[in-house]
């Protein structure tokens, strides 16, 4: 049932308290078209009269007795300390089917008040708290938009009536609010830190300054930052006194944590410890950025599932000279090894995508001072192999399987326990492929069912080097073992069934840690150290691939991609496109920080279908979604075999790509380890990327030769690897538009 339909069944809504919160709720309900009766009770008869004149309420009184009978939904909008008295007054007057809720900013005290009145928590009492407000007060300040896009927290009990919860949720939903469920204890703990403590600090600071003799001069010269921070000290003193009395324990706990933090800052300032101050300030600066992204509701920071849709139009061109973002694999590794090195590591070209930022934040959480990123520049103050500290909670790595698997290796050798978690997509990916060999080395690791995340790594375990023959070609598994080998006794050897990218080996050698290689075997000896060195991250060949394919299939295309990493273990896509007939040349080859880079120049040329050599599959494993689009535009059949690894990426890339190809009319046949694709004309359609960033970008490229527009659902994770993809696509002449969040499967407007 829709929220508006459910709310329409409320015969009478009674607001007990008609100030800003109650008045704005009435205004929002009216603006949403609610036609039922809205009454109010307030001890100030003038507020009732004003509410009627503003046409917010149909009537009201200063007495509850005549208003409660017949009310189907009662909303308590009175101060927290007044709740028990109001509940005692309404208890004998409530109809049997009436639902009661509240708007108080503390929940434990209100639940205690309810139990004191009713003897238990009634199933029809659903406690709630809208996270919204204003410096203004009274019904005159009522704002119908006050709750729109703001969160409302409901704290139902285990035995709450589901229908009562649904009715309260419906009321807030029609006001445009975003609903969250939370336990009473968790609510009070969170609000003590995010709302109650900041107000307390603002009151205290302004009071301290107001006590000084020169207060007028101080206030005269105070800048905008002081005004912004202390604005909340103008809030209702009586209300906040009640809040602190009601939520005393949680507020005191938050205050203890704050005082400990102030003591750390004071100690750093007293000692002239610039490094400690920089660590505190960079963590705070990044936390502020994190808060801003929460407000903007990006996928990485909120961990909420939003269906972001792209619209890609047929036609367009692919011309110009561009540089795609830095290599994601190397961005991850530069932060990891820089943090474990002795000294300061300067990184250029760092990918400021959500996955790489998650890795950066994880090391900040483990006590590493990191400056930036700013326009791709990051400065890492390394702490050495044994300098990491236990993080305050689980380490969140977003959508990155690379980060989780590499972290598993380096954290297996730490003295402290850690937990690794990620987004909904990552929690479906297999982690036993790293957990099992790490266990052979002596690590103690717990996983969720079927070897899935989260990973719980028990610290303090002595590790021993092993010789491990990898059952699959995976740079992530190899890198995980080598990182664990840094902490292991003796040699750690990884033997690959086929070549994979060797960024970890190259970068470790760049940091002065010797990694040897012979044939398919790479090994190192534990107990050494890393020394800081500069890192210049090349442009990501995986990101470049989308534009290589775009140019390869578009008549008249002429594109140069600058400073692209052409590591021999990553150039499968170049080899495959050339075998298909692409006009692709490599120029300006050079080496930067031990990694080969070059400019790639590609012009349009007709492509032909091929049997993709199996020895190229591991060298192009991340590039196949785009290569499937090249195959759909090639003459004849393209066959892929030996690509089972594609089924355990961010999605089952073989099946999800096949489903998308079917939607736009591309002839194909799926097999267990690959796919056959017959090139030819195809149309438009609605494609579900299943949250896989590479599939979303691949079908954006497909639109260049489509006969109709292609809509691509679930594109939020493009920000994990290529945050400026849409802008760069437009720069070269493609017609791709981010439509923002829409309902899954919804038709385009």
Residues designated catalytic: 622
CB 701 within 8 A of CB 559: no
Please indicate if the annotation marks 193 as binding a ligand: no
Q: How many CB atoms lie within 10 A of CB 382?
A: 23
**Is 240 in a helix, a strand, or coil?**
helix
Please indicate if the annotation marks 328 as binding a ligand: yes
For 283, the enclosing helix (H) or strand (E) is: helix 274-296
3-class secondary structure per residue, 670-695: EECCEEEEECCCCCCEEEECCCCHHH
For 99, the enclosing helix (H) or strand (E) is: strand 99-102
Q: How many CB atoms lie within 10 A of CB 35?
A: 9
Minimal CA–CA distance to 67: which of 139, 7, 16, 10? 16
CB 515 within 8 A of CB 300: no
Please indicate if the annotation marks 283 as binding a ligand: no
Please indicate if the annotation marks 474 as binding a ligand: yes
Minimal CA–CA distance to 530: which of 563, 508, 500? 508
In whole angstroms, what is the distance from residue 356 CA to residue 419 CA? Answer: 18
Please indicate if the annotation marks 649 as binding a ligand: yes
For 565, the enclosing helix (H) or strand (E) is: strand 558-565
In the block, tokens 């540089």 appear at 323
Q: How many CB atoms lie within 10 A of CB 457?
A: 26
CA count, 13 A, side-chain hemisphere, 356: 29
Please indicate if the annotation marks 519 as binding a ligand: no
How many helical (H) and strand (E) elements, i.e. helices and strands, does the chain have?
A: 26, 34
Q: How many CB atoms lie within 10 A of CB 94?
A: 19
Q: How many CB atoms lie within 10 A of CB 727?
A: 10
Please indicate if the annotation marks 329 as binding a ligand: yes
In whole angstroms, what is the distance from residue 620 CA to residue 689 CA? Answer: 20
Structure tokens at 450: 């079927």
Please indicate if the annotation marks 53 as binding a ligand: no
For 737, the enclosing helix (H) or strand (E) is: strand 736-741
Rg (Cα) of the chain, in Å, rounded? 30
In the block, tokens 């292609």 appear at 710
Task: Report the DSSP pairing between strands 535-536 and 342-348.
Answer: parallel
Sequence-distant (≥ 6) Cβ neighbours of residue 213 within 8 angstroms: none
Q: How many CB atoms lie within 10 A of CB 564?
A: 27
Sequence-distant (≥ 6) Cβ neighbours of residue 229 within 8 angstroms: 202, 205
Please indicate if the annotation marks 333 as binding a ligand: yes
In whole angstroms, what is the distance from residue 543 CA to residue 739 CA? Answer: 21
Sequence-distant (≥ 6) Cβ neighbours of residue 120 within 8 angstroms: none
Q: Name the binding residues for phosphoenolpyruvate.
A: 328, 401, 429, 476, 653, 694
Q: Name the binding residues.
A: 328-329, 333, 401, 429, 474, 476, 622, 649, 653, 694
Q: Name the binding residues for 3-phosphoshikimate.
A: 328-329, 333, 474, 476, 622, 649
């Amino acid at each position: 049932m829709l929220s508006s339909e459910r709310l329409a069944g409320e015969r009478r809504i009674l607001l007990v308290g008609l100030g800003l919160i109650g008045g704005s709720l009435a205004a929002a309900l009216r603006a949403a078209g609610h036609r039922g009766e809205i009454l109010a009770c307030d001890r100030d008869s003038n507020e009732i009269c004003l509410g009627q004149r503003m046409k917010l309420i149909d009537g009201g009184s200063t007495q509850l007795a005549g208003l409660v009978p017949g009310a189907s939904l009662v909303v308590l909008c009175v101060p927290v300390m007044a709740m028990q008295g109001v509940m005692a007054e309404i208890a004998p007057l409530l109809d049997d089917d009436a639902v009661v809720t509240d708007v108080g900013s503390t929940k434990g005290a209100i639940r205690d008040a309810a139990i004191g009145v009713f003897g238990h928590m009634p199933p029809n009492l659903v406690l709630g708290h809208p996270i919204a407000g204003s410096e203004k007060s009274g019904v005159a300040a009522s704002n119908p938009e006050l709750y729109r896009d703001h969160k409302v927290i409901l704290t139902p009990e285990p035995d709450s009536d589901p229908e009562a919860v649904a009715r309260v949720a419906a009321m807030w939903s029609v006001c445009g609010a975003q609903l969250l469920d939370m336990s009473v204890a968790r609510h009070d703990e969170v609000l003590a830190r995010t709302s109650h403590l900041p107000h307390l600090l603002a009151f205290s600071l302004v009071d301290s300054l107001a006590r000084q003799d020169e207060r007028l001069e101080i206030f005269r010269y105070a800048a905008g930052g002081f005004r912004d921070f202390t604005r909340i000290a103008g809030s209702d003193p009586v209300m906040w006194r009640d809040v602190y009395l009601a939520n005393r324990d949680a507020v005191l706990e938050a205050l203890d944590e704050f005082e400990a933090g102030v003591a750390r800052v004071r100690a750093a300032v007293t000692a002239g410890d610039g490094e400690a101050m920089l660590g505190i300030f960079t963590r705070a600066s990044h936390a502020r950025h994190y808060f801003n992204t929460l407000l903007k509701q990006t996928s990485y920071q909120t961990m909420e599932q939003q269906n972001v849709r792209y619209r890609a139009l047929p036609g367009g061109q692919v011309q110009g000279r561009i540089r795609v973002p830095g290599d994601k694999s190397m961005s991850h590794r530069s932060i990891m090894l820089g943090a474990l090195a002795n000294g300061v590591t300067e990184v250029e070209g760092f990918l400021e995508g959500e996955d790489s930022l998650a890795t950066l934040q994880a090391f900040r959480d483990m006590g590493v001072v990191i400056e930036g990123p700013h326009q791709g520049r990051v400065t890492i103050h390394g702490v050495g192999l044994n300098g990491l500290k236990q993080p305050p909670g689980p380490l969140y790595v977003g959508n990155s399987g690379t980060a989780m698997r590499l972290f598993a290796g380096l954290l297996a050798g730490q003295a402290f326990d850690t937990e690794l978690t990620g987004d909904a997509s990552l929690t479906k990916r297999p982690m036993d492929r790293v957990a099992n060999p790490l266990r052979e080395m002596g690590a103690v690791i717990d996983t969720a069912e079927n070897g899935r995340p989260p990973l719980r790594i028990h610290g303090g375990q002595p590790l021993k080097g092993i010789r491990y023959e990898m059952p699959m070609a995976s740079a992530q598994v190899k890198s995980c073992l080598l990182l664990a080998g840094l902490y292991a006794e003796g040699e750690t050897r990884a033997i690959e069934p086929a070549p994979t990218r060797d960024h970890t080996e190259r970068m470790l050698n760049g940091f002065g840690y010797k990694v040897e290689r012979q044939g398919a075997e790479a090994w190192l000896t534990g107990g050494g150290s890393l020394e800081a060195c500069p890192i210049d991250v090349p442009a990501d060949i995986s990101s470049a691939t989308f534009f290589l394919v775009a140019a390869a299939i578009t008549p008249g295309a002429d594109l140069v991609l600058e400073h692209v990493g052409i590591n021999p273990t990553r150039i499968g896509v170049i080899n495959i496109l050339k075998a298909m007939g692409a006009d692709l040349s490599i120029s300006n080859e050079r080496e930067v920080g031990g990694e080969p880079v070059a400019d790639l120049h590609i012009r349009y040329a007709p492509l032909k279908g091929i049997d993709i050599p199996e020895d190229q599959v591991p060298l192009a494993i991340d590039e196949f979604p785009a290569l499937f689009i090249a195959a759909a535009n090639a003459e004849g059949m393209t066959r892929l075999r030996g690509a089972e690894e594609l089924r355990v990426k961010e999605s089952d890339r073989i099946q999800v790509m096949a489903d998308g190809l079917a939607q736009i009319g591309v002839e194909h046949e799926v097999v267990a380890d690959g796919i056959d694709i017959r090139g030819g004309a195809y149309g438009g359609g609605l494609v579900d990327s299943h949250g896989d960033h590479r599939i979303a970008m691949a079908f954006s490229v497909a639109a260049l030769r489509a006969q109709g527009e292609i809509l691509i659902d679930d594109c939020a994770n493009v920000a994990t690897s290529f945050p400026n993809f849409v802008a760069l696509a437009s720069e070269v002449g493609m017609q791709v538009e981010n439509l923002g969040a829409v309902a899954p499967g919804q038709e385009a407007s």
